[in-house]
Amino acid sequence: MIEIKNLYKYYGNLMAVNNLNLFVEKGEIFGFIGPNGAGKSTTIKILSTLLNPSAGLCKINGINVVDEPYKVRRILGYMPDLFGLYEELKVFEYLDFFAACHKIPYKDRNAIINDILELTDLTVKKDSPVGGLSRGMKQRLCLAKTLIHDPLVLVLDEPASGLDPRGRVEMRMLLNELRKMGKTIFVSSHILTELADFCTSVGIIEAGRLVVSGRIEDVVKSQGVNRHIKLKIIDNVELCETILKSTPEISNIEAAVLEKVFTFEMRADDQALADLLRHLIHNGVQVVSFYDKGGNLEDIFMKVTKGQVS
């Protein structure tokens, strides 16, 4: 669905993107991770046809973004990191304006806008002025605008930046909804925990160069990074501790005896985790929850990056 080959971008003498190669399959949520100044926004602008690359190929759904930008824009929804809104308009009017820009027939607009307002949880704000919305609502409104023409691909540049914790959770839920709808989502962020929960694959970029990419499990495996597991049980604390300590792949076990919660790191794939859980239950440990915290993305990031910028 998204294909980037040997992509270069120079700003004068500064190399912002250096031989970037990526492939994102249909229906994936691709997390594009990197520190500030790594070249994320430049890549996203090239993907969104707002910037021409210095060299290389960029295709969305088989359409070259340089040769046919207007065709690409019809199937792409782009949400920039910094965006303005027509604050004097009402929420409905705002979406109606962009629906008209996308040449959606007048008779269909009302239903489409209502559906999108419901999806983005903005129905109650339908008649409110855009200027009076909170930051989180404005982000959601911008996402609603991005969805108005039902794009195949969503390119979101730091969609949760500046949001409070609640806003982030809501944004994450919304992106998960979109994933279920079959959209291919390319999302950039430097907040790793934000991405770990819902991305199916990731790419880490530093100083314009892609240092690692692939499906999260594969990346975790290839980088040999431990998985962070949180385990809550009802009883048999000693037995549980014994089992964990006897498993060679497990390290850094921390036990909160009163709460009956264990946290530990484990170098393992999904099968090994399932085996461990089965083993615990088989030995009479009553498990309440067994949760992969996903903090490993942070470990991978720290392992593969050196803190360089373009």
Partner 1 sequence: MPQRLIKIYETLKPAMIFEFIYRQNHAPLVSYAISALAICGCFLFGQWPYEQEALHNSFGDRFFTVIMVYTIAVATVLATGHAALSISSEKEKKTLTLLRMSGLGPGEIVFSKAAVSLCFTVFILLPAAPLITICPFLGGISGQAILKSLLILFVSLLFYISAGIFISILFKKSYTCIAFATAFLLILHFGFFIIDDAISYASGASYYSRHNYRYLSVFSPLEMWRSFFDSIQAAVTPNYKPFSPESYFSLTSGESAAIYFGAAVILFYSGVKIFENYLKWREN
Footprint of partner 1 on this chain (CB under 8 A)? 11-12, 45, 48-52, 69-70, 73-74, 76, 78, 80, 82-86, 98, 101-103, 142, 145, 149
For 259, the token pair is 């709460």
State phi, psi for 178 to the nearest 5 degrees.
-65, -35
Work out how close the CB of 276 gets to partner 1 at its nearest, in angstroms, rounded to a whole number. 47
Distances 238 to 29, 53, 234, 241 between C-alpha atoms, Å: 41, 60, 12, 5
**Ramachandran assignment for 193, one of left (phi > 0), alpha (psi -120 to 50 degrees), beta (any other):** alpha
Work out how close the CB of 45 gets to partner 1 at its nearest, in angstroms, rounded to a whole number. 7
Work out how close the CB of 21 gets to partner 1 at its nearest, in angstroms, rounded to a whole number. 22
Work out how close the CB of 51 gets to partner 1 at its nearest, in angstroms, rounded to a whole number. 5
The alpha carbon dihedral of 87, 88, 91, 95 has a sign of: negative
Cα three-residue angle 70-75-78, rounded to 5 degrees: 85
Closer CB to partner 1, residue 80 or residue 295? 80
Work out how close the CB of 209 gets to partner 1 at its nearest, in angstroms, rounded to a whole number. 20
Work out how close the CB of 284 gets to partner 1 at its nearest, in angstroms, rounded to a whole number. 58
Work out how close the CB of 10 gets to partner 1 at its nearest, in angstroms, rounded to a whole number. 8
Residue of 98, 89, 188, 174 whose CA lies nearest to 139: 174
Closer CB to partner 1, residue 75 or residue 255? 75
**DSSP string of 47-85?**
HTTSS--SEEEEEETTEETTT-HHHHHHHEEEE-SS---
Closer CB to partner 1, residue 30 or residue 94? 94
State phi, psi for 52 to the nearest 5 degrees.
-90, 140
What b/e sequence results for 125-158 when a residue is b if at least 16 CB atoms lie within 10 Å of its CB, and e otherwise?
Answer: beeeebeebeebbbbbbbbbbbbbbebbbbbbbb
Closer CB to partner 1, residue 161 or residue 200? 161
Closer CB to partner 1, residue 50 or residue 173? 50
Closer CB to partner 1, residue 70 or residue 106? 70
Between strands 184-189 and 29-33, the pairing is parallel
Closer CB to partner 1, residue 10 or residue 290? 10
